[in-house]
C-alpha cells in the first residue's frame, strides 16, 4: 500500500470512493467541488481503500474491482440527479414483530377519575393541572377552552424569553379551535378528554400554514403543506394547537437557531434533547400537554432533565407521516405530559395505522387498565444497591406486584450498532452533506461525513445483530410484563420496546433543586401494562405534583455558572 505522500493520498481516495459505494452505504463528509469530479476509479485507489472494506485483494482483483466500482460511480451519479423529497422513505421497513399484521380492533380511553373537582382559584394552580383534571373542568364548563388557551398563550409568551422553547406561536389557529371546542361542548358534542385542551407540537411535526423548521437554519422558512397524522388526530380529538416547540437542530440536543432551550428547574442547564421545548414547556406549566419524538433518547432524556412524564411507544405504534425523518427504522412519536395517565389519554388519540406509514401495526389500547396490578410480574435489574435499600423496589413491593430479577442482553456492542442511526440520518440529509452545509447543525455534519464510509455490508451486519438482540430481549420479557431500571436506552431504541419515564425525586446542589427520574420498559405493544405500573408508582410517590418555582423563570440564566 502506498504512503500518504504518494500520488493518491488516503483522504483523496476515500473522498472519491465515498461517492461510489466501495464499502460505503452513505456519506459523512461534506464534499468540495473538486471531490465531485468525474475522476475514474483506478486499481491504485481500490488498494488504498481496502483497509476500509476490511479486505486484501490481488492486483488482478483490484483491476476488476476498479472497473466495477467505476460503473457503480456512474450509476450513483445518475441516481443523484433525481430529486428525492425528505419525506420519502426507502423501500424497506423495520417491524419489531415481523409478519404480525396486527388487528384493527381499537380500545377506548377515559380518565380513571371522571368526576370534576372544583376549579382552582389561583391561575397558576390551574395551569399546572394534569389533562385528566383539566378535561373534567372543561367538560363541566367550569373553565372554557378559550380561557385555557388564552392563559397558556400568555404563559408561553411570558416565559419563552428565558426558556427559548417556542419556535412559532399558532395563536390564530388556537383561538379558532378553542372557540369551536366551546361551541361543541355547549351543544353537548363532547369529543373526549382532550377536547378543548391546548397542546404543543415539537417543530418537526408539520402543520399547514405554519413553519416547520426542524430547529435548523436551512429549514427555518420551510412551510409544509402536509398535516402530520398525529396533528390531524389530535384535531379530531378536539385538542387546540397553541405552539410549535423547539428541538435541537435536526433532532440533536437542545440547541436550535433560536438559542438553547432551558430546564425550568435550573436555567443554567439546557433542557436536554431533542424534544427540548416539549419537555420544558410542559414542566413549566406553559401548555396542557405536548408531543415529542425519539430516535435515541429524545423523549426519555428531556423528561429526565425537566421532571416530566413521557411515553416512548413501541416502534410502529404511532404514524410518523408528516414528521421529519431522521432514522426510518428507529423514529417514534410520543406524548410528554405532567402525569402518566395524561400520556395514556394522549397516546389513545394518536396511535394506530393511517395507511401512510407502513411500519404502523394496529393493536388495541384501553384505559383505565382492567388487569389487577397484583397479577403483574415486574422485573428489575441489579444496580449494585442492596435490594432492601432500593426505594423503587420498596414502592413496587408495597403495590403488590411480583418482583423478578432479570438480566438484559450484554453480549452485543449496542453503542457500535447505532451506526444504523448514523447511516440512515446521513442518507436523509445527504444533500446537505454534498453541498457542504454545516452552520447551526450541531454535531450532525461530522457524523454524516463519517457515515459515508460505513460499508453497506456493515450496516446490514448491524441490522442482523439487531435481529438477534430483539430476539433475546423478547426472551427476557417472556419472564415479566414490565421491568424497571437497567442501562437500556440504546438497547430498547434498537429493539423498539416501549418505555415510560416519570419523576422520582429531587436532588439539591448549590442550592438548586433538580428532578431525577425512573424508567419502566414494557413488552412490544404492551403499553397498557407498562402505563398501569408507571401510573401506580406515580400515584404512590407523587413527585409529578412538584413544580418549578415560577419566580425562577423570570430570572436570566447566569452565563458564569457551568452547566
Which residue is associated with the grid cell 444504523?
Answer: 420
The C-alpha atoms of residue 501 and residue 292 are separated, in whole angstroms, by 13
The class (CATH top level) of 123-352+366-406+481-553 is alpha beta
Question: Residue 515, SS3?
Answer: strand
Q: Which residue has the higher pLDDT, 50 or 563?
A: 50
Per the residue annotation, which of 274, 275, 293, 319 is the catalytic one? 274
User: Would the pLDDT of 366 be above 60?
Assistant: yes
Phi then psi dihedrals of residue 496, to 5 deg: 90, 10
Is 446 noted as a catalytic residue in this protein? no
Which of 40-44, 94-98, 299-303, 526-530 comes out lowest in average pLDDT?
94-98
User: Would the pLDDT of 33 be above 50?
Assistant: no
Mean pLDDT of 143-147: 98
Do 190 and 279 meet the contact criterion of CB atoms below 8 Å apart? no
pTM of the model: 0.88
Is 132 noted as a catalytic residue in this protein? no
Question: Residue 2, SS3?
Answer: coil
Q: Tell me what pLDDT residue 104 has.
A: 58
**Structure confidence at residue 77 as a pLDDT band (50, 70, 90):** confident
Which of 44-58, 163-177, 477-491 comes out lowest in average pLDDT?
44-58
pLDDT in tens, 501-547: 999 999 999 899 999 999 999 999 999 999 999 999 999 999 999 99
Instruction: Select from 275, 246, 234 the least CA-distant residue to 159.
Output: 246
Per the residue annotation, which of 132, 246, 298, 301 is the catalytic one? 298
Do 294 and 493 meet the contact criterion of CB atoms below 8 Å apart? yes
Structural domain boundaries of the chain?
10-82+414-460, 123-352+366-406+481-553
- Contacts of residue 378, Cβ cutoff 8 Å, sequence gap at least 6: 396, 401, 402, 403, 404, 480, 481, 482, 483, 484, 533
Q: How many CB atoms lie within 10 A of CB 398?
A: 9
- Contacts of residue 51, Cβ cutoff 8 Å, sequence gap at least 6: 1
Question: Residue 441, SS3?
Answer: coil
Q: Which residue has the higher pLDDT, 335 or 66?
A: 335
State the angle between helix axes of 444-451 and 419-428 in degrees (0 to 180), rounded to the nearest 10: 100
User: Would the pLDDT of 265 be above 60?
Assistant: yes
pLDDT in tens, 80-89: 787 888 888 7
Per the residue annotation, which of 42, 144, 202, 332 is the catalytic one? 202
Q: How many CB atoms lie within 10 A of CB 465?
A: 18
Which of 13-27, 140-154, 261-275, 536-550 comes out lowest in average pLDDT?
13-27
**332-337 and 240-245: which strand pairing?**
unpaired
Which residue is associated with the grid cell 394506530?
Answer: 352
Is 298 noted as a catalytic residue in this protein? yes
**Structure confidence at residue 552 as a pLDDT band (50, 70, 90):** very low
Q: How many CB atoms lie within 10 A of CB 50?
A: 16
The C-alpha atoms of residue 265 and residue 133 are separated, in whole angstroms, by 24
**Structure confidence at residue 102 as a pLDDT band (50, 70, 90):** low
Q: Tell me what pLDDT residue 18 has.
A: 56
Amino acid at each position: 500500500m502506498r504512503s500518504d505522500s504518494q500520488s493518491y493520498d488516503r483522504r483523496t481516495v476515500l473522498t472519491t470512493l465515498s461517492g461510489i459505494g466501495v464499502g460505503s452505504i452513505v456519506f459523512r463528509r461534506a464534499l468540495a467541488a473538486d471531490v465531485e469530479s468525474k475522476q475514474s476509479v483506478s486499481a491504485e485507489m481500490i488498494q488504498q481503500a481496502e483497509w476500509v472494506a476490511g479486505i486484501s485483494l490481488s492486483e488482478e482483483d483490484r483491476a476488476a474491482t476498479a472497473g466495477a466500482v467505476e460503473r457503480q460511480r456512474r450509476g450513483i451519479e445518475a441516481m443523484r440527479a433525481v430529486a428525492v423529497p425528505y419525506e420519502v422513505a426507502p423501500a424497506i421497513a423495520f417491524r419489531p414483530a415481523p409478519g404480525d399484521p396486527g388487528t384493527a380492533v381499537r380500545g377506548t380511553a377515559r380518565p380513571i377519575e371522571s368526576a370534576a373537582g372544583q376549579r382552582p382559584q389561583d391561575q397558576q394552580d390551574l395551569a399546572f393541572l394534569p389533562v385528566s383534571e383539566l378535561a373534567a373542568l372543561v367538560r363541566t364548563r367550569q373553565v372554557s377552552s378559550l380561557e385555557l388557551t388564552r392563559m397558556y398563550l400568555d404563559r408561553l409568551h411570558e416565559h419563552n424569553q428565558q426558556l427559548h422553547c417556542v419556535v412559532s406561536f399558532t395563536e390564530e389557529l388556537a383561538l379558532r379551535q378553542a372557540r369551536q371546542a366551546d361551541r361543541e361542548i355547549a351543544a353537548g358534542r363532547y369529543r373526549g378528554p382532550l377536547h378543548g385542551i391546548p397542546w404543543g407540537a415539537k417543530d418537526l411535526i408539520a402543520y399547514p400554514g405554519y413553519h416547520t423548521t426542524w430547529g435548523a437554519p436551512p429549514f427555518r422558512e420551510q412551510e409544509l403543506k402536509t398535516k402530520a397524522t398525529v396533528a390531524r388526530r389530535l384535531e379530531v380529538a378536539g385538542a387546540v394547537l397553541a405552539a410549535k416547540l423547539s428541538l435541537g437542530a435536526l433532532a440533536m440536543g437542545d440547541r436550535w437557531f433560536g438559542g438553547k432551550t432551558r430546564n425550568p428547574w435550573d436555567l443554567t442547564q439546557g433542557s436536554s434533547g431533542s424534544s427540548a421545548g416539549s419537555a420544558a414547556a410542559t414542566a413549566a406549566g406553559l401548555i396542557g400537554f405536548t408531543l415529542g419524538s425519539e430516535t435515541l433518547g429524545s423523549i426519555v432524556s428531556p423528561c429526565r432533565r425537566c421532571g416530566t412524564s413521557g411515553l416512548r411507544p413501541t416502534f410502529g405504534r404511532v404514524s410518523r407521516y408528516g414528521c421529519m425523518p431522521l432514522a426510518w427504522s428507529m423514529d417514534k412519536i410520543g406524548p410528554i405530559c405532567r402525569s402518566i395517565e395524561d400520556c395514556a389519554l394522549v397516546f389513545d388519540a394518536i396511535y394506530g395505522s393511517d395507511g401512510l406509514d407502513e411500519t404502523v401495526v394496529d393493536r388495541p389500547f384501553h384505559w383505565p387498565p382492567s388487569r389487577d396490578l397484583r397479577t403483574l410480574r415486574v422485573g428489575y435489574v441489579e444496580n449494585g444497591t442492596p435490594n432492601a435499600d432500593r426505594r423503587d423496589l420498596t414502592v413496587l413491593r408495597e403495590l403488590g406486584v411480583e418482583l423478578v430479577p432479570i438480566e438484559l442482553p450484554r453480549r452485543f456492542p449496542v453503542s457500535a450498532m447505532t451506526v444504523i442511526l448514523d447511516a440512515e440520518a446521513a442518507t436523509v440529509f445527504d444533500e446537505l452533506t454534498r453541498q457542504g452545509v454545516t452552520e447551526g447543525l450541531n454535531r450532525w455534519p461530522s457524523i454524516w461525513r463519517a457515515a459515508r464510509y460505513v460499508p453497506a455490508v456493515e450496516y446490514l451486519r448491524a441490522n442482523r445483530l439487531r435481529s438477534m438482540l430483539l430476539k433475546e430481549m423478547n426472551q427476557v420479557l417472556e419472564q415479566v410484563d414490565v421491568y424497571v431500571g437497567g442501562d437500556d436506552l440504546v438497547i430498547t431504541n434498537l429493539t423498539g420496546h416501549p418505555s415510560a419515564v416519570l419523576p422520582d425525586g429531587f436532588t439539591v446542589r448549590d442550592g438548586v433543586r433538580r428532578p431525577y427520574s425512573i424508567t419502566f420498559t414494557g413488552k412490544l405493544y404492551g403499553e397498557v401494562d407498562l402505563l398501569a405500573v408507571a401510573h401506580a408508582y406515580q400515584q404512590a410517590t407523587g413527585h409529578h405534583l412538584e413544580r418549578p418555582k415560577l419566580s425562577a423563570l423570570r430570572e436570566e440564566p447566569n452565563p458564569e455558572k457551568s452547566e
